[in-house]
Structures are given as structure tokens and as C-alpha cells.
């Protein structure tokens, strides 16, 4: 996907998140993130948006920690979240292709990295916000191309790093195949960090198959185990291993 497309999705998903949060209220439980309320979700996502904006807007070339979560609630918290989201969209929309700043996953350019990363950060948390309304079948859809792109970022990006905790002995291969886009990934799992290829070459002990949106949310652990939208064939040990060890934390 192009950077402009990621920014477009970021803008839409951030607005949907705010709308769902406003409707649910600060005290509502976020069902997809046990232990969180909408208040926690807004504080976290708003902090991440401002953290990302600082790299893009100020061109920081080394890591800097986030500014922390605010002691805000209710309408003031929602306004703070919306303001931070708008600042991020504006910073990315105005960033030149030549911008140099710190990133943490491979990408064609820093603006491309931050647009992609924040589009998916916001999409996943928008799903969280809508879960606070009890929305499952009625939640806002994730476009297949965006979902497939997010699967790729998760498998090849986050879990292409040595810090991934998805490890197993004996080894095995987990295949992920979308049914509504032409995408397939093979994740080689072992005692070392996972290694993913964008192919269906070779055998796989376990395969996850389904629409890109269902796979995206399942791999991010936003859908419950056994969701009928995702078909698991072969050794479900690897599917359980993913669910138990793949969480990406701040």
C-alpha cells in the first residue's frame, strides 16, 4: 500500500475510534483487552499518536520515550485524543519523502513506516473501542487490502525481530492464507525468532485460512480462539503457540 492510502485509513480509523469511545463512555470495559476501560484505551492510543508525531514533525533520529499518559477523563480526554490524532494525520500528510527520523521496522522511508504503523495501531484499537459497545458482527469492517497489509507488518515486521517470543522446539511451519486477497505467508517457527516468507513453498504443519480481516484480527488476538471465520488445519499446537506468545506490548 502507498503512504497516502495508509494516511487515509489512519484518518478514518481514528475518527471511528473516537466516535465509538464517545458512545461507550470512559468507564466501559474494552472486551478485547481484558482489564482495560475506554479511558485506558484513549490514554494509551492518544499517547502513542503524540509519540509518533514527534518523530515525524521534529525529525528525531534516535529513540525517544513517549510523553506519558494524561490524567484526563470524560470529554476532556476525548478532546485530547482527537487533537492528537489530528496532529498525527497532519504531520504525516505534510512530511516530505526525504524526511529522516527514527523508525523500528524496515520500510521504504520513515514517513512510509510511520503512516503504516499508525494506521494499524489505530485500526486495531478502533476494533477495541467498538468492542466496548459490544460490537462483533456489527463492527466497522477492515478493508481486505488493509487487513492483508497489517498481517504482513505483523508477520514480517514485528515477528521478524529477534525480540519475538514466538518460539518452539520441536520446530514447525505455520501458513497463513487469505481467501479474499492473493496473499499467503509461511512462518517458520523454531527455538530461534520466527522467519516469514511471502510464499506457500514447502510443507506446513498448520494452516490458518480465512478472509483477510478475520485473519488480521485473529493474529492480533482480537477474535476469540476457534472463531468460525478462520479455518485451522493440521497441528493446532502452532496456532495455540501463536495465541499464547505473540502479543506485542508497548
Q: What does the pLDDT look like over 73-90, one tens digit per residue? A: 999 999 999 999 999 999
Range 149-173 average pLDDT: 97
Per-residue pLDDT tens digits for 3-13: 999 999 999 99
Q: Which residues contact 70 (CB under 8 A, 6 or more apart)?
A: 43, 46, 47, 77, 80
Pairing of strands 195-197, 184-189: antiparallel
Torsion of CA 178, 17, 46, 222, to 10 degrees: -40
- 132 conformational bin, left if phi > 0, alpha if psi -120 to 50, beta if neither: alpha
Phi, psi angle pair for 126, to nearest 5°: -65, -40
Mean pLDDT over all residues of the chain?
Answer: 96
Q: How far apart are CA 92 and CA 3, in angstroms?
A: 9
Residue 103 exposure: Cα atoms within 13 Å on the Cβ side: 20
Residue 248 to residue 229: CA distance in whole angstroms: 23
Over 80: is that where the pLDDT of 136 sits? no
pLDDT in tens, 106-124: 999 999 999 999 999 999 9
Walk me through the domains of the chain, giving residue ranges and CATH numbers.
3-131 (1.20.120.450), 144-245 (3.30.1050.10)
Q: What pLDDT was estimated at residue 137?
A: 56
pLDDT-derived band at 226, boundaries 50, 70, 90: confident
The pLDDT, as a whole number, for residue 224 is: 87
Distance, CA of 141 to chain centre:
15
Q: What is the pLDDT of residue 225?
A: 83
**CA 32 – CA 133 distance, rounded (Å):** 11
Average pLDDT over residues 202-220: 97
Query: Residue 138: pLDDT above 80?
Result: no
Record the pTM. 0.96
Amino acid at each position: 500500500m502507498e503512504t497516502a492510502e495508509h494516511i487515509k485509513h489512519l484518518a478514518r480509523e481514528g475518527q471511528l475510534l473516537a466516535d465509538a469511545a464517545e458512545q461507550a463512555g470512559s468507564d466501559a470495559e474494552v472486551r478485547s483487552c481484558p482489564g482495560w476501560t475506554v479511558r485506558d484505551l484513549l490514554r494509551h492510543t492518544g499517547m502513542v499518536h503524540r509519540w509518533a508525531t514527534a518523530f515525524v514533525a521534529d525529525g528525531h533520529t534516535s529513540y525517544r520515550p513517549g510523553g506519558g499518559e494524561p490524567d484526563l477523563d470524560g470529554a476532556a480526554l476525548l478532546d485530547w485524543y482527537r487533537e492528537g490524532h489530528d496532529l498525527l494525520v497532519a504531520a504525516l500528510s505534510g512530511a516530505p519523502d526525504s524526511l529522516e527520523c527514527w523508525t523500528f521496522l524496515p520500510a521504504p522511508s520513515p514517513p512510509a513506516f510511520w503512516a503504516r504503523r499508525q494506521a494499524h495501531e489505530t485500526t486495531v484499537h478502533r476494533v477495541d473501542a467498538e468492542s466496548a459497545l459490544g460490537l462483533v458482527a456489527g463492527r466497522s469492517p477492515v478493508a481486505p487490502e488493509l487487513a492483508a497489509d497489517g498481517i504482513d507488518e505483523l508477520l514480517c515486521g514485528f515477528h521478524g525481530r529477534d525480540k519475538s517470543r514466538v518460539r518452539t522446539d520441536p520446530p514447525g511451519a505455520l501458513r497463513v492464507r487469505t481467501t479474499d486477497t492473493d496473499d499467503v505467508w509461511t512462518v517458520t517457527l523454531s527455538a530461534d525468532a520466527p522467519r516469514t516468507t511471502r510464499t506457500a513453498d514447502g510443507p506446513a504443519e498448520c494452516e490458518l485460512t480465512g478472509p483477510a480481516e478475520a485473519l488480521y484480527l485473529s493474529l492480533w488476538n482480537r477474535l476469540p480462539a476457534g472463531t468460525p471465520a478462520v479455518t485451522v488445519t493440521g497441528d493446532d499446537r502452532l496456532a495455540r503457540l501463536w495465541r499464547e506468545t505473540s502479543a506485542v506490548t508497548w
